[in-house]
Amino acid sequence: MSEPTEPPWTAEQVQGLAPDASSFTAARKLAGASGWSTTGHGGSPAGLWGLCKGSGSNPYQICIDLTEPAYRCSCPSRKFPCKHALALLLRWSAGQVAADEPPSWMTEWTTSRGARAVKKAEQATAPRTEAQERAAQRRADKRAESVAAGIAELRTWLSDQVRHGIAGLDQAGYRPFEQVAARLVDAQAPGLAAAVRRLAPVPSSGPGWEQRLLAELSLLHLLAGAAANPDALPEDLAATVSSRVGHAVTTEQVLAGPPVRDRWQVVGTRDDTEDKLTSRRVWLRGRDTGRPALVLSFAMPGQALPVDLVLGTELDADLTYYPGAAPLRALVAARHGTPRACPVPGPAQTVAQALDEVSTALAGDPWLFQWPVLLRGVLAPGSPWHLVDPDGDALPLDPALGEPWRLAAVAGGHEITLAAEWGPAGLRPLAVYDGTEVARA
């Protein structure tokens, strides 16, 4: 038996781990089926295991390490985690898995995982040779030249738009934007290219598009101006500009930064697919520091996104932030223990506090278009909808996202904690916490 057991994750949280909707549907069915045996949870690190009858003669062995979490299943599925692992988690979530001593096949797996982790850590620390350094410098210089040329072209293009007028752009389609974006990709400024691509749908976004387009063009102009002259900027702002332009920062560089230890709460997650590339945003908030963080990951088609940060849990860990004037993106540098369920994340903000935080962040990084907030208040339907805090202050929800009736049903007009992304058009809800459960948006 392990020490006092954590409450299991909710079905919502398990759903967050599913690689796709059909896996989760299949898992839900499997969880209700007969054919389970030797299920249990416990051990150290905390784990979950079980046997599930499959189509073969031997039942599948499922091992789950709840700390990362990590999975192994003896089934041939390429989905990860597979439906058996998800189903086992669902059974656990429904209270159908009892605490127990792990069987030998479970302990063997956890031991071998531990050994692999040590080996990997040893390999990662070999330093680069002098020749490698010189080659890297040459590449960097060449790239800076190319980026500078791209930025100059972008600035000319931006000026031209305003010189000739933006009124006709709603007739032009995506083409003008695509051309500029393609040039910026060639110039090795993928961040700027993505920013230009984000402009493309604005002219067809309905009434008021001219206002939105001018705002975005002007911010891009600001960014291009700053990127053309990075040496004039303070170090933090230069890092922000550099990341917005699209310079990659290596994982090692980020991990070398100062760690921030906290009980990091996973308050919201959101997946997006753009050009076949799937991205997962995991929004964290430190329970003690109150700091927000974003763990961003990407997957090509067929690749699985990392699923180690589970909505509605909190993790004692060291985070290191990417450099910048309004640090937000971060990496998990070190974990200290098992994630725990966290039914009520905090500290929640008032609307005034959230607006203050957004202002401060914008002062550092004026190009921010999303910032996580954790608000306490009442969801008020309307056009637009609002989240109204106990002081009566409210922030609008982004009307383009549709009406969040499911969240309203969960909230029932009572005060809830809402995790959301702030954006210029309004809040994008991520999850609602009603005190006992978390419902993803």
Site string for other proteins, 153-172 (x = CB under 8 A): --x--xxxxxxxxxx-----
Q: How far is the CB of 289 from other proteins (least distance, A)?
A: 23
**Near other proteins in 52-91, by CB under 8 A:** 90
Q: Which is nearer to other proteins, 337 or 390 (CB)?
A: 390
Q: Which is nearer to other proteins, 28 or 335 (CB)?
A: 28
**Binding of other proteins by 424 (CB under 8 A):** yes
**Binding of other proteins by 35 (CB under 8 A):** no
Q: Which of 352, 399, 400, 435 binds other proteins (CB under 8 A)?
A: 352
359 and 211 in contact (C-beta within 8 Å)? no
Q: Which is nearer to other proteins, 293 or 407 (CB)?
A: 407
**Binding of other proteins by 129 (CB under 8 A):** no
231 DSSP 8-state letter: G
Stretch that binds other proteins, among 253-261, 278-286, 296-304, 352-360 (CB under 8 A): 352-360
Beta strands in 310-403 (DSSP E): 313-321, 330-335, 340-341, 371-380, 386-388, 394-396
Stretch that binds other proteins, among 39-47, 61-69, 143-151, 378-386 (CB under 8 A): 378-386
Q: Which of 5, 7, 32, 274 binds other proteins (CB under 8 A)?
A: 32
Residues 289-328: b if buried by 16+ CB within 10 A, e if exposed: eebbbbbebebeeeeebebbbbbbbbbbbbbbbbbbbbbb
Stretch that binds other proteins, among 58-66, 102-110, 127-135, 209-217 (CB under 8 A): 209-217
Q: How far is the CB of 413 from other proteins (least distance, A)?
A: 4
73 and 21 in contact (C-beta within 8 Å)? no
Q: How far is the CB of 79 from other proteins (least distance, A)?
A: 15
d(CA 278, CA 271): 7
Stretch that binds other proteins, among 98-106, 219-227, 255-263, 340-348 (CB under 8 A): 219-227
- Three-state DSSP at 366 gives coil
Q: Which of 182, 334, 409, 435 binds other proteins (CB under 8 A)?
A: 409
Beta strands in 234-326 (DSSP E): 260-274, 277-286, 292-299, 313-321
Q: How far is the CB of 102 from other proteins (least distance, A)?
A: 25
69 and 310 in contact (C-beta within 8 Å)? yes
d(CA 378, CA 393): 10
> CA 258 → CA 16, 268, 330, 364, distances in Å?
30, 24, 11, 19
**Binding of other proteins by 392 (CB under 8 A):** yes
Q: How far is the CB of 158 from other proteins (least distance, A)?
A: 6
φ/ψ of 213, rounded to 5, equals -70, -45
> CA 236 → CA 116, 223, 232, 330, 425, distances in Å?
37, 14, 12, 15, 27
**Binding of other proteins by 366 (CB under 8 A):** yes
**Binding of other proteins by 309 (CB under 8 A):** no
Q: Cβ neighbours of residue 257 under 8 Å, at least 6 residues apart?
A: 320, 321, 322, 323
**Cis-peptide into 176, omega within 30 deg:** no
Q: How far is the CB of 144 from other proteins (least distance, A)?
A: 23
Strand partners, 375: 349, 418
Q: Which is nearer to other proteins, 316 or 403 (CB)?
A: 403
**Binding of other proteins by 232 (CB under 8 A):** no
**Binding of other proteins by 5 (CB under 8 A):** no
- Three-state DSSP at 391 gives coil
Q: Which is nearer to other proteins, 284 or 325 (CB)?
A: 325
Q: How far is the CB of 16 from other proteins (least distance, A)?
A: 14
Residues 378-411: b if buried by 16+ CB within 10 A, e if exposed: bbeeeebbbbbbeeebbbebbeebeebeebbebb
Q: Which is nearer to other proteins, 113 or 221 (CB)?
A: 221
d(CA 102, CA 110): 10
**Binding of other proteins by 207 (CB under 8 A):** no
d(CA 417, CA 29): 31
363 and 403 in contact (C-beta within 8 Å)? no
Interface positions with other proteins (CB under 8 A): 11, 22, 25-26, 28-29, 31-33, 90, 93-96, 155, 158-167, 210-211, 214-215, 217-219, 221-222, 225, 351-352, 355, 358-359, 362-363, 366, 378, 380-382, 386, 388, 392-396, 405-406, 408-410, 412-414, 424, 434, 437, 439
